[in-house]
Amino acid sequence: MPNKDNAKKALRQSIKRAALNKAKKEAFRDAIKKTAKAASAEEAKKLVITAQKALDKAAKHGTIKKNTAARRLSRLMKKVNGLAKK
């Protein structure tokens, strides 16, 4: 346990930030998984919007980097577009 007031505050902040980061990561990971497992192309196109929102929010917040979000979205879109062609 920290002894100084500033160390106590830093601990509180890091716990809060870790919880927010974890929630944002779970949100975009779940959205990506749901989209990838979609049964039809139409359903996948609807779900990809929520995945994109979650990725953009995580990137904006700083949980993941902007390019990481773009790369994950790009790979997801490849899968969705592949479903549409089938």
**pTM to 2 decimals?**
0.86
Domain count within the chain = 1
For residue 32, count other CB atoms closer than 10 A to its CB.
22
The pLDDT of 77-81, averaged and rounded, is 93
Domain that holds residue 47: 5-85
pLDDT of res. 75 = 96
CB 66 within 8 A of CB 85: no
Interatomic CA distance for residues 58 and 1, integer angstroms: 30
Residues 53-83: b if buried by 16+ CB within 10 A, e if exposed: ebbeebbeeebbeeeebeebbeebbeebeeb
pLDDT tens for 12-64 read: 999 999 999 999 999 999 999 999 999 888 999 999 999 999 999 999 999 99
CATH number of residue 73's parent domain:
1.20.58.110
